[in-house]
Amino acid sequence: MGMRIENRMYPSLFRTSEAESLGISKHRLLHDPRFRAVIDGIHRDELKLVEHPTPSWADDAWMNESLKLRAMTMAVPGIAAGGASAARLFGLPLPRRLIDSHLHLVTFDPGRKVSRKGISLRRHNLAEGDYWLGMPMHSPVGVFLDLSAVLTRDELVALGDSIVGRWHGPPLCSLEFLRTKIAERRYLRNRKRVEAAMSLVRESVDSPQETDLRLWAINCGLPEPVVHPPVRCPLLNRTVEPDLGYPHAKLALEYEGDHHRALRSQWNSDITRDEALRQQGWEVLKVTSQTNRIRLEHKIRYYLERRSGLAGRDSLKQC
């Protein structure tokens, strides 16, 4: 799955010290909304626009944060987006409490300092960064480890699934690479939490909702469902991969987001896929944000016991 990149228009940026040479008076710089300050020392020109590559899924908040980061790189060399800011710019899932306007930065320069309202800087000894869409970013591995301090195990699994998965585009790195880099760390904060999360990170996950559903099943004591189990469907003359499934019991779990109902093409595709799966003897359970999870658990247990001959409900821990 590729990520579609668009060239969107952004206000151009200039330093306060450049205003006079640009023909901008001190009064206009302070009072004309055309030249609002992005950060101290860096202003934006709302009429003089420039193009920057932008993911098709990016919203206004993403564009504002990316502009603020670009402004900071003009004011303070040797910094990169890190933590929650890097995660937001990469398009990784975060809990609502970490969705705000605070800009999180990292530096690999031990002497670098930043003291600005709404901006924090974290120093790292290990230089792990690169440019992404023209912006300096901490590595996905570094972002994962930094956020382990503020995320729960399950939230960290969702982050890891998204890093090695394909929610907003191709993986940022492979699961093997993520595991290797973490294993190489001699000193690792929150080691138990990181290792517990890494044991549950899976490749090819398409959305945080899939992760949530899989972790919910595990936390209920159900067997872990397989991510995208391949099912050869002669009716379609191709292989179908449901979101989650139990191949031994031919039971599929499909998470239906709002777009499944809103887009007729997606709706028709879902119907065709489900018909093909059922022709191959699979049962398909649909899950939405409104699904009663207690009833869903009972359904899954019923089909697992019926189709795979499990010992009974007592052999599976209840939620």
Report pLDDT for 314.
43
Is 5 part of any domain?
no
DSSP 23: T
Residues 6+ apart with CB under 8 A from 305: 312, 313
> Is pLDDT of 313 > 50?
no
Residue 3, amino acid: M
Burial class (CB in 10 A: 0-12, 13-18, 19+), 115: exposed
Q: In what order do the strands lie in the sheet with 226-227?
A: 226-227, 244-246, 251-255, 283-287
- Range scoring the smallest mean pLDDT among 112-121, 282-291, 307-316: 307-316
Report pLDDT for 310.
46
Rounded Cα–Cα distance for residues 187 and 312 (Å): 44
Is 240 part of any domain?
yes
> Is pLDDT of 84 > 60?
yes
Tell me the mean pLDDT in the region 89-103.
Answer: 96
Is 178 part of any domain?
no
**Contact indicator for 173, 140 with CB cutoff of 8 Å:** yes
H-only helix segments in the chain: 26-31, 60-75, 83-90, 140-147, 153-164, 175-183, 191-198, 208-219, 258-262, 264-279, 293-308
> Is pLDDT of 257 > 80?
no
Domain that holds residue 245: 208-315
3-state secondary structure of 292: coil
> Is pLDDT of 1 > 60?
no
Tell me the mean pLDDT in the region 260-264.
Answer: 56
Is 284 part of any domain?
yes
Query: Per the structure block, which two tokens stand in for 267?
Result: 């709706």
Query: Per the structure block, which two tokens stand in for 84?
Result: 């929650």
For the chain, the maximum distance between any two Cα atoms, rounded to a whole number of angstroms, is 81
Report pLDDT for 315.
46
- Summarised one tens digit per residue, pLDDT across range 152-200 is 999 999 999 999 998 888 999 999 999 999 999 988 889 999 999 999 9
Whole-number average pLDDT of the chain = 92
The pairs formed by 256-261 with CB atoms below 8 angstroms and a separation of 24 or more are 256/286, 256/287, 256/288, 257/207, 257/209, 257/288, 257/289
Confidence of residue 318 (pLDDT cuts 50, 70, 90): low
Helix axes 191-198, 175-183, angle to 10 degrees: 160
Report pLDDT for 111.
87
> Is pLDDT of 97 > 90?
yes
- Number of independent structural domains in the chain: 1
Report pLDDT for 263.
59
Is 172 part of any domain?
no
pTM for this prediction:
0.89
Q: Smallest Cα–Cα separation from 101: which of 59, 46, 64, 151?
A: 64
> Is pLDDT of 311 > 60?
no
CATH code of residue 301: 3.40.960
Q: Smallest Cα–Cα separation from 16: which of 68, 66, 71, 65?
A: 71
Confidence of residue 317 (pLDDT cuts 50, 70, 90): low
Confidence of residue 258 (pLDDT cuts 50, 70, 90): low
Q: How far is CA 307 from CA 302, 314, 315, in A?
A: 8, 17, 15
Is 264 part of any domain?
yes
DSSP 57: T
Tell me the mean pLDDT in the region 18-39.
Answer: 96
Is 217 part of any domain?
yes
> Is pLDDT of 2 > 80?
no
Rounded Cα–Cα distance for residues 319 and 307 (Å): 21
Is 149 part of any domain?
no
